[in-house]
């Protein structure tokens, strides 16, 4: 048949019969019931239901669930082992931290002792240097004082001579007469004794 011939057929013919003996578009069912809801088919359906669920139960209980239980047991064991290892590591870390703190405190105390010893040594050295410097300065001061005293004594001897000469010159100028050197020495000695 061509497409023109199909288009000319009446809609009734095309909807009820497509091939010889086949009825379409809501033709009548034999018996008028839907087969799964037919009571005569329930017994075989129930048997297949029991067989399939029994087989699924056996597969789950013998194969799948033991594997899942094994996986869960392995996982739990691994987690517990890891937790125990973590606790042990934490305990070791805490012990190491306490040991480190004790070592740090000991080293700090040792450093403070070394610092105090160094400070005391430096203070002793500084005191020794200061004492040596003070002693040198004291010796230099004593030597300077001795030199000053010797210079003063030497100059004082000259002062007496200069005073005698000045006194003789003043008296000679004022009176016009020369005085005896012994009288001038006696007068200078009496003034020096005061």
Measured distance CA(177)–CA(132) in Å, rounded: 62
* pLDDT higher at 9 or 116: 116
pLDDT of residue 64: 92
Contact 31, 38 (CB under 8 A): yes
Question: What is the pTM for the complete model shown?
Answer: 0.39
Instruction: Determine which helix (DSSP H) or strand (DSSP E) holds 174, and give its type and residue range.
Output: helix 65-175
pLDDT digits (tens, 9 = 90+) for 17-40: 555 655 555 555 555 677 777 888
Contact 73, 79 (CB under 8 A): no
- 3-state class of 18 per DSSP? coil
pLDDT digits (tens, 9 = 90+) for 150-189: 888 887 777 777 777 887 888 888 887 777 778 777 877 7
pLDDT of residue 122: 94
Measured distance CA(176)–CA(181) in Å, rounded: 15
Q: Which residues of 117-155 are buried (b: 16+ CB within 10 A; e: fewer)?
A: eeeeeeeeeeeeeeeeeeeeeeeeeeeeeeeeeeeeeee
pLDDT of residue 13: 47
- 3-state class of 105 per DSSP? helix
Helices (H), ranges, 9-64 = 11-16, 42-59
Q: Is the pLDDT of residue 144 over 70?
A: yes
* pLDDT higher at 83 or 7: 83
> What value, to the nearest 5°, has the Cα angle with vertex 151 and ends 150 and 154?
85
pLDDT digits (tens, 9 = 90+) for 90-123: 999 999 999 999 999 999 999 999 999 999 999 9
pLDDT of residue 29: 53
pLDDT of residue 22: 54
Instruction: Classify residue 37 by its DSSP letter.
Output: G
Q: Percent of the chain scored above 70 by pLDDT?
A: 82
Contact 173, 165 (CB under 8 A): no
Mean local confidence (pLDDT), 42-54: 93
pLDDT range class, residue 2, cuts 50, 70, 90: low
Positive or negative, the CA dihedral 130, 135, 141, 143 is negative
Contact 18, 24 (CB under 8 A): yes
pLDDT of residue 14: 47
Contact 30, 38 (CB under 8 A): no
């Amino acid at each position: 048949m061509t497409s023109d011939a199909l288009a000319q057929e009446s809609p009734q013919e095309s909807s009820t019969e497509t091939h010889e003996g086949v009825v379409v578009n809501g033709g009548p069912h034999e018996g008028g019931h839907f087969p799964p809801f037919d009571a005569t088919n329930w017994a075989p359906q129930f048997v297949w239901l029991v067989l399939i669920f029994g087989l699924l139960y056996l597969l789950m209980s013998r194969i799948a669930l033991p594997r899942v239980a094994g996986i869960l047991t392995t996982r739990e064991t691994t987690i517990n082992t890891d937790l125990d290892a973590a606790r042990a590591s934490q305990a070791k870390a805490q012990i190491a931290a306490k040991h480190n703190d004790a070592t740090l405190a000991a080293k700090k105390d040792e450093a403070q002792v070394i610092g105090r010893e160094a400070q005391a040594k430096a203070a002793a050295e500084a005191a020794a240097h200061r004492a040596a410097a003070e002693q040198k300065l004291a010796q230099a001061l004593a030597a300077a004082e001795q030199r000053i005293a010797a210079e003063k004594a030497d100059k004082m001897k000259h002062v007496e001579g200069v005073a005698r000469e000045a006194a003789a010159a003043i008296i000679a100028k004022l009176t016009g007469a020369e005085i005896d050197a012994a009288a001038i020495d006696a007068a200078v000695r009496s003034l020096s004794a005061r």
